[in-house]
């Protein structure tokens, strides 16, 4: 069984997720740590729970979701894995981060492995299904655990809202379509852990999300 630990980091209140199972293997999704205090919070939790980080995943590569990529590489030797279509988004970050006040952004190492549009990632005794859901960004992935009934949704679907589509590579119609055809087909009780804000469920959003 997968345990999901949520951290909320950086000026954008971005949700960083730590997933681990009974083997103590863990994966880090969208590390948003920007300063030393946030870095220490994550590493302390990993150490005190005797976890072994084996994978670093990015749902997408906007700056608030990749602030900690370099730190995770330096600390645990893990290079981020994400869909290749996000590469231009990642490589653009150093160009605009300082103008937004993030002068201490450490450039993310480039991946050695890219994730496909479909398939699974495995760690410990667990696996996550890849769901390709662009619209907020050009090649956004969500990570779905059928066995444990949750979705790491990145910036696709939020509590009562959806991801913004006015950034480079965004497409409003595409986002709406992907949520409708790929996320809303999941069981209603599926818990959604979004990139910002509180968790929600597929069923709640199908009924109450004003965008649908």
pLDDT of residue 25: 98
pLDDT of residue 76: 98
Q: How far is CA 43 from the centre of its chain?
A: 18
The chain-wide mean pLDDT, for the chain, equals 97
Quickly list H helices, 19-154: 36-48, 63-66, 69-76, 87-96
Find the CATH number of the domain harbouring 182.
3.60.15.10
pLDDT of residue 70: 98
pLDDT in tens, 145-194: 999 999 999 999 999 999 999 998 999 999 999 999 999 999 999 999 99
Residues 6+ apart with CB under 8 A from 198: 159
Rounded to 10 degrees, what is the CA torsion of 165, 170, 173, 176? -60
Residues spanned by the domain of 178: 3-208
pLDDT confidence bin for 120, thresholds 50/70/90: very high
Read off the pTM.
Answer: 0.97
Average pLDDT rounded to a whole number, residues 134-141? 98
pLDDT in tens, 31-84: 999 999 999 999 999 999 999 999 999 999 999 999 999 999 999 999 999 999
The radius of gyration of the chain from alpha carbons, rounded to an integer in Å, stands at 16
With contact defined as beta carbons under 8 Å apart, do 163 and 157 qualify? yes
Quickly list H helices, 49-201: 63-66, 69-76, 87-96, 172-178
Average pLDDT rounded to a whole number, residues 129-157? 98
When divided into structural domains, the chain yields a total of 1
pLDDT of residue 109: 97
Q: What are the distances in angstroms from CA 97 to CA 91, 102, 111?
A: 11, 5, 20
């Amino acid at each position: 069984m997968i345990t999901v630990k949520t951290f909320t980091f950086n000026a954008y209140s971005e949700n960083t997720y730590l997933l681990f199972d009974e083997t103590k293997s863990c994966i880090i999704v969208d590390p948003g740590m920007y300063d030393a205090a946030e870095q220490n919070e994550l590493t302390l939790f990993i150490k005190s729970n005797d976890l072994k980080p084996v994978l670093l995943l990015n749902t997408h590569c906007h700056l608030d979701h990749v602030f900690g990529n370099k730190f995770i590489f330096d600390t645990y030797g893990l290079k981020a894995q994400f869909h290749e279509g996000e590469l231009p988004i990642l490589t653009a970050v150093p160009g605009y981060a300082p103008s937004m006040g993030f002068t201490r952004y450490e450039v993310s190492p480039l991946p050695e492995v890219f994730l496909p549009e479909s398939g699974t990632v495995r760690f410990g005794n667990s696996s996550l299904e890849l769901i390709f859901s662009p619209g907020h960004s050009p090649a956004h992935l969500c990570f779905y655990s059928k066995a444990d009934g949750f979705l790491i949704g990145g910036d696709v679907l939020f509590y009562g809202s959806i991801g913004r589509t006015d950034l480079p590579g965004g497409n409003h119609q595409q986002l709406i379509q992907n949520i409708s055809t790929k996320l809303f087909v999941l069981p209603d009780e599926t818990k959604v852990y979004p990139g910002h804000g509180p968790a929600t469920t597929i069923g709640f959003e199908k009924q109450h999300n004003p965008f649908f």
